[in-house]
Structure 1
Amino acid sequence: MKQLHLKIVGLLYAFLVTSCATKKFVPSEDWSELNGEYYAYSESEKNEVGINIISLLKNEHNHLPTSFIFEAKKDSAFIYYIRKDSLKTTTERIPIEGKRKKRFIKQTRSWSVIPFFPIFARFDIDILRFGKDELGNLLVNVYYDNSGMILLFGAGNSGSHYYTYKKLDQVQLTRPYFENGKYGIQNKQGQKVTAPIFSYLSVFENGQADIEINGKYGIIDEEGNFIIPALYSSLFLSKRWNRPDVYIASKGKKYGILDKQGKELVPFKYDNIEGDDFFRLYLGNKLGIYVPHQVHIPAIYDSYYGKASDDSFILVFKGEEGYMVDYNGYEYQTERAPFNLFRDFFNYSLKDKNEVQRKNIIYKPNYKIKRKLLIEEEDINQNTEEQNVSKEDKIPNPSEK
């Protein structure tokens, strides 16, 4: 009886997965109709770059190809693409292995269903389907379910997403082309705008693309003009919904921050930069904070802990002493109080939005004791630390003993 129950549940679940995820595919008698070279990014309804098929298949995100070849034979199918890194260029092959249906090729990457209804259930499903849409484009469906339940409580995520890939001769976009081991720019009419001079060239997004020349990175427009010159050892666009986009860049071993036009916002003096809506700037064993176009807090602190709930204060430490810094560049001494279960957990409305909890201590700014921070403080602090280190490293004179 138990085995019958498991079979019924499995068949029912498989039916739901299949019926919900295949409605956009059209039947195909000959899969070789899909053979050809494709633009590697999926079609997007908005003015945005779609999903690269290699990211979809292999979860890779660096130096992605701009095109790929789909090849289907009688009993096999493959995707070929050029992989280029700083050392070499190779042709990679990804086999598409799975069952062939009338509408699609089904590749099951994971399938685990543990049903003990109504007490417990666990699903771990990851399925790819390859086929064609009504216009003859390559259509890829990703279905996933990573969820579970205990009694009436459930958690997890699931979804089904479609990605459409068009052949190169059907794509009217300014895009990279690859020739003799280098990249160049090709316009919407298929004409070459530049010679193949770039070691790397990304797709264009909002009229801009990343380039690499001789190991240095920059940004160009669709005509090949430099927006940000190729002067940087690394260049990474940091995007966040609640602030302007900026680039984290490096020159040699030092990091700084640029705006999208290449203007220097944070000088190239830091050993590392991390963060998302605001950035942590590391200089030696100290850290500072930068909030794009708002405030630059000097690197004079030993550690950072977190933000207040209204995002106006950040808790930092000098040793074990906590301070609050705000987005206007002020440092506040803190008032501390033990964590109160009723006030701080059960009654959120009574909580001060400018406070931060660390372990069992609540920190909040003392508004009466504050000072304006100066960016020059980090240079003074760094010079003092270097002098202390040099004194410690000094070889003692025997006569001083």
Structure 2
Amino acid sequence: MRADGIAPNGAAGLQVDAVTKAFGGVVALQPCSFTVPAGAMCALLGPSGCGKTTTLRIVAGFELPNSGRVLIGGEDKTYAPPQRRRLGMVFQSYALFPHMTVAQNVAFGLRMAGLPRAEIEERTRRMLDVIRLPQFADRHPAQLSGGQQQRVALARALVTEPSVLLLDEPLGALDKSLREQMQFEIRQLQQRLGITTLIVTHDQEEALTMSDLIVVMSKGRILQVGTPTEVYERPKSRFVSEFLGTSNILACRVRSQDSGGAVRVGVAGLTPEAAFTAWSRHPPGADAEVLVAIRPEHIHMAPSSGHEGITGFVDGQITGHVFRGATHVYQVAVPGLEVPFIVYQQVTGPMADVALPLGTPVALTWPEGAARVVDATAH
């Protein structure tokens, strides 16, 4: 694979081109297009019913699209049967054969392909080394932990050397700590093997942690495609901003336009009106009403003098607090706003710092670049 993520023949690893799908009168997918560079991992992210699993099934060949194309390594595989697409697939349930040993499960696809016995044994042994389970070759799935079963399912999918690996909610059955561990293990394995991978998930943290590219979907449409940093820090719509993490959404009015896509906005309902710079992909005109999103971790909160006017950007009062181990989460009520600000404060000391008590007057500020104008209608 070249440094730009394109295969030696000049083709992307996977391309979904204007694919649509309807089941009877129900439209499951409106025209959807995205490209996964060869060797990259792409996450299809969205709530239940958004179309991500339908998209995966079309890529796998389990469903045929009503229109559009699926290209794998530059070759049109839209109507090819699953067995002719050179895909590996891992399901949430793992789907291991309970009566077979670990080695037999991993070797299953190679046996079905009719490879020589010596080659099957060699490739199976090599793959068990890759997943660090050679000592469990003769055990059955029931004798393994959930994480070990997950690794066996991955080995079975990878041993056939597929062009694309498909992961359908692969970590949904694991507890939180094991899920986080497996996120790193799968990611490291995928990067080491350099295999183009498509993962379906509704877990935002999983998509951010594991993928090179995120495709955010809702109601059968693709709302945004980008790297984890792009989608998280520069969401196009309110839906993306709120689905991929937490955002403070402010109703604002544009006061002036600056250079480079920046606009000066005022927060509706505040007296005096707080004005600040927000960034927009398509700067709106003066006096336009817009929604602005600010991530809680970008807001700085400090005790203020209380009711002697605005001491920071906006004045407020702490009305709620929860402790999440690495983070203090505060609710800050601001006079004139119906919805309180959510503010994250990272824990920096071994004693988990000292939380500010409820009722404390505080001043909220945030740096330029933290505020983004988002589309209010896309969902």
TM-score, structure 2 normalization: 0.29
Q: Which has the higher contact order (CA 8 A, sep 6+)?
A: 2
TM-score, structure 1 normalization: 0.28
Structure whose residues are more often strand by fraction: 1
